[in-house]
Each structure stands twice: as structure tokens, then as C-alpha cells.
Amino acid sequence: MRTEPRWHRTRSTRSITPNKRSKVLAGATALLLPLAAMVGLASPAEAAASATATYTKASDWGSGFEGRWTVKNTGTTTLTSWTVEWDFPANTKVTSAWDATVTNSANHWTAKNLGWNGTLAPGASASFGFNGSGTGAPTGCKLNGNPCDGGPTVPGDNAPSAPGKPTASDITNTSVKLSWAAATDDKGIKNYDVKRDGATVATVTGTTYTNTGLTAGTDYSYTVVARDTADQTGPASPATTVRTTGGGGGENPGGGKINLGYFTNWGSYTVKNLVTSGSAEKITHINYAFGNVQNGKCTIGDAYEDYEKSYTAANSVDGKADVWDQPLRGHFNQLRKLKAQYPHIKILWSFGGWTWSGGFGQAVQNPTAFAQSCYDLVEDPRWADVFDGIDLDWEYPNACGLTCDSSGPASIKNMMQAMRAKFGPNNLLTAAITADGSNGGKLDAADYGGAAQYIDWYDVMTYDYFGSWSAQGPTAPHSPLTSYPGIPAQGFNSADAIAKLKAKGVPASKLLLGIGFYGRGWTGVTQSAPGGTATGPAAGVEPGNQYYKVLKTTCPATGTVGGTAYAHCGNDWWSYDTPATVGTKMAWAKSQGLGGAFFWEFNGDTANGELVSAISNGLK
């Protein structure tokens, strides 16, 4: 029988502490980032029969764009490094880049791999991206000195033009028919390479092709490249994205956007509840919280809950009870069963959190050793198949949370660089970070821009801006989307935090908007509108904190401010998100080109997953 209290393990979700804000400023480069939906334009292909370099314009907002290159080893031997070169017109240039070192000489641009993504086994690929200004497209692409498309150059014989954008028809669970307008060439067209996600899947003589053997409920991107009679290839057609029908739980519920939820190892919410609530069909990722950081290493957070606790048939995802001698039990085994039923879900093991962030400062004194310890734990053979990567929740680098850190602005970049080098390109690497958008605040205390090149995305904790730690008020929403007249502190809102991260060079697609599935509240409040005085925290699951599933009936919303809801009932005043305000926030996230959203945490939602559904619907 375990008798230790659980409250001390609970993660406080405060992402902003109004006091003790660090005044250290980090350099920032102002960038315009995507506001439009993803638009693919490709000009790819294969380098000297051993590798391909594929270009896609991920988004375009008029005066600028986000470009993405994918290098794939199509040969039979390992590629140890790669260099992609191309030319831009004089009015087009790269303004910032990630996952590669990009330089230029006038209009000629060169991108070289970083230390962690240069080695590509046969069939493997690596991608890098950049923000650009202007409207031009790349030309003259070379990969490791060879033509990117692998075609010859024939003097006096022009390469063919780009074919028309493919049109998709007759889409089924496993196939799609593609048609396109013919390319032109001065000597004549020989055939066409049909490319799916940058790789050639067929070469045809006509202008139609039916691709079979696809997976239901899956997105595919198609382009077509023409070959002339001398086997020269021209630029690729514009890309067409196709989603096959069917797929059930395997479909991406966010239409390509991330819908990630934190699952805590101490809450009453079980993995099976993900299924019974309908949430498993709608989420894309889970952060399992928390592992600890101790003595410079990643360590187990709670062995009993993580992998020792037995589940009955009634509480198990697949309806089968654990037995005493099975090698893995606990949440880890339940998550394994969940992934078997919902293979689209990716799971990351999250380390740190409010309570357990104190160990990061020691850990980053030797980032390589720290990364090795985390890799050894996450990839332990007993549960390696459960996890798809690691999430690091450091509250906060070079600033104060529950404890204060003084490891310096570069500490988070050094940590992420070491983590990426160890975990490699095929594991997810993410971080939950502060959302303090104030001048000289926590976002300015550490090099989040520099660290971004190594991560897949940031979970920006855009909640807990205000709460009953200011016991007398003023009352204010804990998760405002935007500022509003009378807000107690400037920069304490989602829009300012996202804008600051973009200005530091973090791509919009690497930012997730945070949603709290709970409210923050005061008591002793007589004023209904925000800004009132209080006498202390309202009663809740902990003082000043209550789940949405409770508040929606005990203290229904009476108004909105700054894009989120608030409620005044009796002497209590609460702020929290509702399905309606979540919808507003998701529309805003899409307008900003963000990668999606995440939330803390499943325990706060209703039995039928109201808030998870609101995020999923809002991201479509």
C-alpha cells in the first residue's frame, strides 16, 4: 500500500511569475512569419542517382514566405553530409533559417547540414527551412555539386517547362487519379516523373496516373516533373495535396495541425478515459508528465504509476487485466495499448515541470551527459516502443520559477543542441516554455530563438498570467489571448508572447498555443467585471484552481475579456476557457500560421471531451 501524499507531485501550471522577472535581454531579429494556410509549391528532385533535394514553399503571405528543403538519400550507401545550393532572383533572399547553416554570395545561396542531421542512411531524409522575403523561386539547384534533379545538361537544348498543377479525382481509401496539363519543350517531351512527398513513384508517357496502395485517411503531396527527349528534367509542377478517404482513428484530426494534451501520472484520469471520452480520435500527441531531473540526469518520476501499477480489465484500454508477472504494467503499458488502437498518436515523455525544474541548472553544466541519461531512460528496452520523443519542461532557464536559475542565456540552446545530437532526427524533441511577452521578461532571459533550430516545436504556456497568488487581486483572466484596457501587466497575453517569439526568429510552425483546462479564481469579490478586489483564493481542487468540468456548472461564464471567459458567482470570480473561447483561439492560431495547440491537462475536461473537441474542430 502506497501512503505517500500525491499533492506534492502536482505540477503548478504557472507560466508567468509577475515578480522577480529577469531583465537579461537576448538579441532578436524581427521577421514576418506566415499568416496564411499551408500552400505547397515544389521544384525538386534527384541528385546524381544517390540523393534528391526537394523544395516546397510551405506558406506565402505576400511580402514573404516560408520555404522548406528536403534532402533524401536515394542511393544504397550512407550519405555523410549534404550541401544544397540554389539561386534566387535579386529581389528574393533568405532572412532566417533553421536546421541548416545558410549563407550566400550575392544571389547564390548555400545550405549545409548541422552536426546532427548530416548523416543519412539509404532511404532516410532530413529537412531544413527558412523564412524569405520577395516573390522569386529557386533555380539552378545543386546537391553536393550535382544537379538536384539528376538530369543531364545538354548544350543548345532547353529543359522542359513545368507541367500544370495535378488535379485529383476518383479518391478512395487506397488510391487517387492524377491529371495535369502537358509541359512544353523545344525538342519534345519524353515522359513525366510523378512524385509523392518528393519521391518518384512512377514515370509515365501520358498526362494521367492512378496511384494505388495508399493508406486510408492520410495526406499525400503530389508534383509532376517533365523529361525531354534528352532526359533533361524541368521544374516541378505546383503541388497538390490529397487526403485519402476513410481511416477512422488513424486520420489526422487537426488537418495537419497538432492537438497535444498533457497526461499526468498522478491524476484520476486514466488512459482508458481517452478512449471513452472520444478524445483519442481527436488528439495527435500526448506529453506524459512527468519524469524528474536529478543529479544532472533524467530520472523516473513515479515508478509505481509509470510501470508497476496493475490495471483491472474494466480499467484497461483493451479490456484485459494485467497479470503479476508481465514485464510492463502501469501507465506505460496502457499507453502502449492505446497506440495499438490509435497508431496516429505520438507520445513524448515530459521531464521537469513547475515542481521538478530545479535540477535543470545542474544538468546543463554537462549537456552531453544529460542528453545521454535522458536517451538511456526514454529508450529503455522495456518501454522504448511507447515513446516517440522527449519534451523538456524547464520553468525557467536563466530566470525564476519555483526556484531561480542563473545558468545563462545560452543554457537552453546548449541543452537542445545536445539533445538533438543524441536523439537524432527521427525522435521528436520539444519544450514547454514561458509565455512572458513583457519587455525584459522571461522570454528575453534565454536564447529561445537559437534553441529553436534543434526542436520540433515549443509548447508556449499561454496561461497562468494572473491568479490568486495576488491574493487581493485585481481579478484578471489567467489566459488572455490579447491585451485589453486595464490588464494588470503589459505583455502578459498570448498575442504578445507569440509575436516576441516570432521576432526572435522562431518559425510560426514551431509554436503551439497553450490552453488551460481549468480556471483561476478569487473569493471575496463583489465586482462582476475584471479588475475587482478580493480577499484570497477561491476554493477548488487546490486553492484558486478548479477544473473546467466543474466550473461549467458551478460557476457558468458571465462574460469575456481578452478572448477568454470569466464568471462571477456569489463571492467568487473565475476565469477559464469554454468551447466558444477555445474556438476563437484556434481561429487566431491558424491565422498566425501556428503549428497547432496543446493543453494542460486531460483531467480538467468533461467526460465527453468538450474542450478536446473544441480544439480539434477549431484547427480543421
How many residues in the chain? 620
Q: Which cell numbers in the block locate residue 242?
A: 490529397
Question: What pLDDT is recorded for position 305?
Answer: 97
Of 385, 490, 38, 443, the C-alpha closest to 221 is 38
Strands 457-460 and 428-433: parallel
* Phi-psi group of 90: left, alpha or beta (phi > 0 → left; psi -120 to 50 → alpha; rest → beta): alpha
pLDDT above 50: residue 22: no
Confidence tier at 24 by pLDDT (50, 70, 90): very low
Confidence tier at 153 by pLDDT (50, 70, 90): low
> Helix (H, G, I), strand (E, B), or coil: what is residue 609?
coil
Q: How many whole angstroms separate alpha carbon 608 and alpha carbon 606?
A: 5
Domains and CATH numbers, the chain: 7-21+258-517+577-619 (3.20.20.80), 41-150 (2.60.40.290), 158-238 (2.60.40.10)
Question: What pLDDT is recorded for position 332?
Answer: 97
* Residue numbers annotated as active site: 395
Per-residue pLDDT reduced to its tens digit, 262-275: 999 998 999 999 99
Per-residue pLDDT reduced to its tens digit, 440-456: 999 999 999 999 999 99
pLDDT above 50: residue 133: yes
Question: What pLDDT is recorded for position 219?
Answer: 73
Q: How many whole angstroms separate alpha carbon 262 and alpha carbon 6?
A: 18
Question: What pLDDT is recorded for position 316?
Answer: 96
Q: What percentage of the chain reaches a pLDDT higher than 70?
A: 88
Question: What pLDDT is recorded for position 9?
Answer: 34
Question: What pLDDT is recorded for position 449?
Answer: 95
> How distant is the alpha carbon of residue 281 from its chain centre?
18
Q: How many whole angstroms separate alpha carbon 560 and alpha carbon 114?
A: 46
Question: What pLDDT is recorded for position 250?
Answer: 34
Per-residue pLDDT reduced to its tens digit, 293-325: 999 999 999 999 999 999 999 999 999 999 988
Confidence tier at 149 by pLDDT (50, 70, 90): low
Other Cβ atoms within 10 Å of 421 Cβ, number: 16
Least confident segment among 96-100, 285-289, 295-299, 584-588: 96-100
Per-residue pLDDT reduced to its tens digit, 186-234: 889 999 989 887 667 889 999 999 998 877 767 788 889 898 888 888 8
- Is pLDDT larger for residue 593 or for residue 13? 593
pLDDT above 70: residue 7: no
Question: What pLDDT is recorded for position 39?
Answer: 28
Contact 63, 133 (CB under 8 A): yes
Least confident segment among 31-45, 420-434, 451-465: 31-45
Per-residue pLDDT reduced to its tens digit, 73-101: 877 888 899 999 988 888 889 988 888 99
Per-residue pLDDT reduced to its tens digit, 502-549: 999 999 999 999 999 999 999 999 999 999 999 999 999 999 999 999
- Is pLDDT larger for residue 206 or for residue 239? 206
pLDDT above 80: residue 32: no
Q: How many whole angstroms separate alpha carbon 29 and alpha carbon 24?
A: 16
List CB contacts of 120: < 8 A, sequence separation 6 or more: 51, 71, 72, 73, 78, 79, 82, 126
- Is pLDDT larger for residue 351 or for residue 173? 351
pTM: 0.66
Confidence tier at 13 by pLDDT (50, 70, 90): very low
Max CA pair span of the chain:
85
Confidence tier at 62 by pLDDT (50, 70, 90): low
Highest mean pLDDT among 113-122, 172-181, 527-536: 527-536
Vertex 116: Cα angle to 113 and 119 (nearest 5) = 70
Q: Which cell numbers in the block locate residue 72?
A: 533524401
Average pLDDT score over the chain = 87
Confidence tier at 150 by pLDDT (50, 70, 90): low
Confidence tier at 19 by pLDDT (50, 70, 90): very low
Least confident segment among 137-151, 295-309, 347-361: 137-151
Question: What pLDDT is recorded for position 578?
Answer: 98
Question: What pLDDT is recorded for position 218?
Answer: 75
Question: What pLDDT is recorded for position 576?
Answer: 98
Question: What pLDDT is recorded for position 384?
Answer: 93
Q: What percentage of the chain reaches a pLDDT higher than 90?
A: 66
Please name the residue that has the C-alpha cell 545538361. Answer: 153
φ, ψ of residue 177 to 5 degrees: the values are -100, 130
Confidence tier at 258 by pLDDT (50, 70, 90): very high
pLDDT above 80: residue 254: no
